[in-house]
Amino acid sequence: MQLKDKVALVTGGSRGIGRACAVELAKRGANVVLTFQGNEAAAAEAVKACVDAGGKAKAVRLDVADTAACTRVVEEVMKELGRIDVLVNNAGISIDGLIMRFKDEDWDKTLDTNLRGAWALIRAGCRPMMKQRGGSIINLSSVVGEMGNVGQSVYAASKAGLIGITKSLARELASRNIRVNAVTPGFITTDMTAGLPEEMKKGLLQIVPLQRLGTAEEVAKAVAFLASDDASYITGEVLKVNGGMYM
Mark whether 246 is an active-site residue: no
CB environment 79-93: b (16+ within 10 A), e (fewer): eeeebbbbbbbbbbb
Tens of pLDDT, residue by residue over 10-20, are 999 999 999 99
Q: Sorting pLDDT into bands at 50, 70 and 90, what band is 192?
A: low
Q: Sorting pLDDT into bands at 50, 70 and 90, what band is 204?
A: confident
What is the fold of 7-241? Rossmann fold (3.40.50)
**Residue 242 in this model has a pLDDT that exceeds 90:** yes
Tens of pLDDT, residue by residue over 135-164, are 999 999 999 999 999 999 999 999 999 999
Q: Which of 155, 169, 173, 179 is catalytic?
A: 155
